[in-house]
Amino acid sequence: MISVWNGFAMKLGMRASALPLVFIFSSLALSLSACSDDADEVQREAAPENDGIYGFVDGCYTMDAVAPGKAKAKFLAPADDGQGFAFSAADAASASRFTMRASDLATYLFYDEEEQYFVAEEGEFVRKAELSSDIFELDDAYLPGAQWQLEVSVHDETRFQLRHLKSGQYLTTGGLTESADEAAVVTLYPAEGCAEYPELTVDAEGEVTPRQFDDGSVWGIVETHSHILSNFGFGGAGIFHGSAFHPLGVEHALPSCEMFHAAEGRADLFGFGFDQGDDLDQDALLQGIVTGRTPEFNHHTEGYPEFTDWPSAHDSSTHQTQYYTWMKRAYLGGLRLMVQHATTNQIICELLAGSDTQPIRYSCNDMVAVDRIIEETRNLERYIDAQEGGPGKGWFRIVESPEEARQVINEGKMAIVLGIETSNLFDCFLTPPDGKERCTEQDVVEKLDEYYEKGVRVIFPVHKYDNGFSAGDGHRSIIELGNFIQTGHKSNFVEDCPDIPSVFDKGDVQFGGLNGPRDNYFADPLYDMSGFGDDPVGTLFDHVGMLNGGPLEGDYCMNAGLTPLGEFLIEELMKRGMVIEIDHLPRRSYERAFEMLETNDYPAVGSHGNNNNGKLYELGGVSKFNFKSCSDPSQPGTRDDNLQERIALIEAAGGYPAEGFGFDLNGFAGAPGPRFGDNSVCSEPQENPVTYPFDSFSGEVTFTEPRVGDRTIDFNTEGFAHIGMLPELIEDVRNDGVSDEDLDPLFRSAEGYLRMWEKSIERGEALGSAQ
């Protein structure tokens, strides 16, 4: 035994007599460590298999963590006072169970079984039942401290580290650190018994199978005219209320609108003006502008989960109708292509913000809103990818060419095309604000290049108000007043009009006292409206008398057309192969633009329904149709008459027999109303309501009654409340006797749009090479 000790001691360089002391002290140290504060730490098991940083969405997990270089870990659990969290639990049974809700790609909210969030504030772990957000704080940069970016650990590739989104710091077992090297090594273990994160249901079962027509055409419906994210227009607060998504979920995307629209919705003057339609009481509107409130109750304000009044696309213009789960329901029903137009209105924004009627988060400038909407559309794509498990996995795909769109649609996903529809395109004003000059051709070239690079492929040269490219679209009512404020000019309506169809530039003039036609479009403005943004009521006060002149009856139109810069814009759009939207051109502008299109054999889009008596189809252009709102008991199966009439025009022009929708949701355009009940839009009794469940047109998906939070929507008595009611609309006309063969052109409409786009590119290349 002594020889063994001597040999071992020699290898250690120690005297044999000292060796027993080493073992004594080592044993003592081990026994002491067993009595230390680490006694209830657990030895880590091997990390569970997982799908990587994107793969934890909506799963239920416990979390343990250990400092780098350590072999033992503790689980995250509520602190003793219940107000915070600590890595203190000895095992998973004692740990908090978290639903990991994706806030962005590889970014999660940790929501425990008692519906509390894991938050870090000033380096401390906090347990919160509610989060604030940029919406409630009216702070565009606000972050709540609850979002955690999941990364692969720099110390263990089978485990993770968490980076706090708000601070940029890394999670440790006791707080946060600036250094990734000091970040805790985290393991996530599958668990059960988690809380369900608040979200709206899709109310459909089944999956999309990629499909094409036998001739190779893509299968699916096009929505030619949409505004998914109008909430980021109008100063980005609540003038238009509710978003298609929010990183913190539905409670922040679709909350009550009361903080913006006030109690009873009485600060929602914009909605009040639009929702009254032809029944608008001008005196009540003017009173509202002065006081900042409608004269009486306007609408209920409750959002998630009650949704008492909204969404209601049929009769509520200032509330979101395209939340992403509603879009998914439409996609499951056959929607495969959407044109997403950035839209806003600087004058409406300045009116409500400058009078302190409603707040804003950033500038009312049109192009500020356009930039933000483009950015947020890409963020929405990321958000949906995050919910579906990672980059590229979502069904919502932004495309920049018809080739990309074909690929996306043939994969069974939905292609999104970016567009712009706003009055002050590229800040090219008719009456530039102080410090700005009128746009030049060079300005137009630079802006087209900039926005093409951003992915924009569809453009309206003009929207509601006069700009540097064209007179405004001629829309009447409150838009007459808006154009006066925008330009400092009286209205420019005359009765000597081109014989050409128009969506907006026609009919009576509502504010006759505001009309004062001028021969020189670029004449100096008669009125200085430059103070409107700061003092809307005061600036308008001296001109109120002009609003009392009564209407002008007759067929009036705008007394101006395309400017030289407007013609240059259209030429440049054609050279780039971009899609030109022409339905907001007033009659004189439309007439000249159509001449240019015909000369160059270039197609265009009439997404508000004007096909110029079929001439648009002769160019390879596309328009849109509506189903009849009501069935005719004596003529069942005729609610698609408008579609069939248009298909006949297309075929007569030698075009591809297809036509899609242009609902213009979130664009203040209304939507199909109900056929049944007290609010029916039909004059005759209706039959064959939608019943549940029913199958999609393709037969792949079964739809159940649509719910929004606590509210069940009855399509029969409420109509097309949001985009997710598209399957109901199609089922409704099928119930009325419209055959699947009759609907074939609708499901070919995505193909029809892509063919128009392809011809635009082809003609653009030819025009460019001819220079």
pLDDT at 279: 72
pLDDT at 43: 60
Q: Where are the alpha helices (DSSP H) in 418-547?
A: 441-453, 478-487, 536-541
Average pLDDT, the chain: 93
What does DSSP say about strands 456-459 and 414-420: parallel, antiparallel, or unpaired? parallel
Which fold, 221-642? TIM Barrel (3.20.20)
pLDDT at 557: 98
In the predicted model, is pLDDT for residue 600 greater than 50? yes
pLDDT at 478: 85
Q: What is the percent of the chain where pLDDT is above 70?
A: 94
Separation CA 319–CA 10 (nearest Å) = 85
Q: Over the stretch 533-572, which tens digit does the pLDDT of each residue have? A: 999 989 988 888 888 888 999 999 999 999 999 999 999 9
- List the structure tokens of 508: 């009576």
pLDDT at 477: 87
CB burial readout 202-215, b (16+ within 10 A) else e? bbbeeebeeeeeee
Cα 172 to Cα 62, 68, 95, 276: the distances in Å are: 16, 9, 17, 57
**pLDDT band at residue 102 under the 50/70/90 scheme:** very high
Q: What is the mean pLDDT of residues 211-237?
A: 98
pLDDT at 275: 81
Q: Which DSSP string corresponds to 639-657?
A: TTHHHHHHHHHHHHTT--S
**pLDDT band at residue 507 under the 50/70/90 scheme:** very high
In the predicted model, is pLDDT for residue 30 greater than 80? no
85-99, 403-417, 664-678, 689-703: least confidently modelled range:
664-678
pLDDT at 3: 41
Run of H or E residues at 188: strand 185-190
Q: What is the mean pLDDT of residues 145-170?
A: 98
Q: Over the stretch 743-769, which tens digit does the pLDDT of each residue have? A: 999 999 999 999 999 999 999 999 987
**pLDDT band at residue 668 under the 50/70/90 scheme:** confident
Q: What is the mean pLDDT of residues 164-182?
A: 98
**pLDDT band at residue 41 under the 50/70/90 scheme:** low
pLDDT at 37: 45
Separation CA 535–CA 463 (nearest Å) = 25
Q: Which long-range contacts (CB under 8 A, 24 or more apart) does 111-115 make?
A: 111/194, 111/195, 111/197, 112/78, 112/194, 112/195, 113/193, 113/194, 113/195, 114/195, 115/195
**pLDDT band at residue 455 under the 50/70/90 scheme:** very high
C-beta of residue 483 within 8 angstroms of C-beta of residue 475: no
Q: What is the mean pLDDT of residues 571-577?
A: 98
Confirm or reject CATH 2.80.10.50 for domain 44-190, answering yes or no.
yes
In the predicted model, is pLDDT for residue 484 greater than 50? yes
pLDDT at 22: 38
Run of H or E residues at 751: helix 749-769
10-14, 81-85, 541-545: least confidently modelled range:
10-14
Same topology between domain 44-190 and domain 221-642 = no
User: What pairs with residue 221 in β-bridges?
Assistant: 335
In the predicted model, is pLDDT for residue 40 greater than 60? no
Q: What is the mean pLDDT of residues 510-523?
A: 95
pLDDT at 702: 99
pLDDT at 24: 36
Q: What is the mean pLDDT of residues 406-431?
A: 98
User: Would you list the domain boundaries of the chain?
Assistant: 1-27, 44-190, 221-642
pLDDT at 278: 66
Q: Over the stretch 377-390, which tens digit does the pLDDT of each residue have? A: 999 999 999 999 99
Q: What is the mean pLDDT of residues 736-743?
A: 97
Peptide bond into 311 cis (omega under 30): yes
User: What pairs with residue 231 in β-bridges?
Assistant: none
- List the structure tokens of 413: 């996903």
In the predicted model, is pLDDT for residue 4 greater than 90? no
Q: What is the mean pLDDT of residues 607-630?
A: 98
| Range from 65-69, 293-297, 445-449, 630-634 that averages highest in pLDDT | 445-449
Give the count of alpha carbons within 13 A of 469, CB side only. 32
**pLDDT band at residue 34 under the 50/70/90 scheme:** very low
265-279, 485-499, 583-597, 671-685: least confidently modelled range:
265-279
Separation CA 388–CA 104 (nearest Å) = 11
Q: Over the stretch 295-345, which tens digit does the pLDDT of each residue have? A: 999 999 999 999 999 999 998 999 999 999 999 999 999 999 999 999 999
Q: What is the percent of the chain where pLDDT is above 90?
A: 87
Separation CA 344–CA 463 (nearest Å) = 10
pLDDT at 21: 39
C-beta of residue 624 within 8 angstroms of C-beta of residue 225: yes
Separation CA 167–CA 178 (nearest Å) = 9
Rg of the chain over CA atoms, in angstroms?
31
Which residue bears the tokens 């635009």? 760
Among residues 739, 737, 742, which one has the least CA distance to residue 643?
742
In the predicted model, is pLDDT for residue 665 greater than 50? yes
Phi (first) and psi of residue 328, to 5 degrees = -65, -40
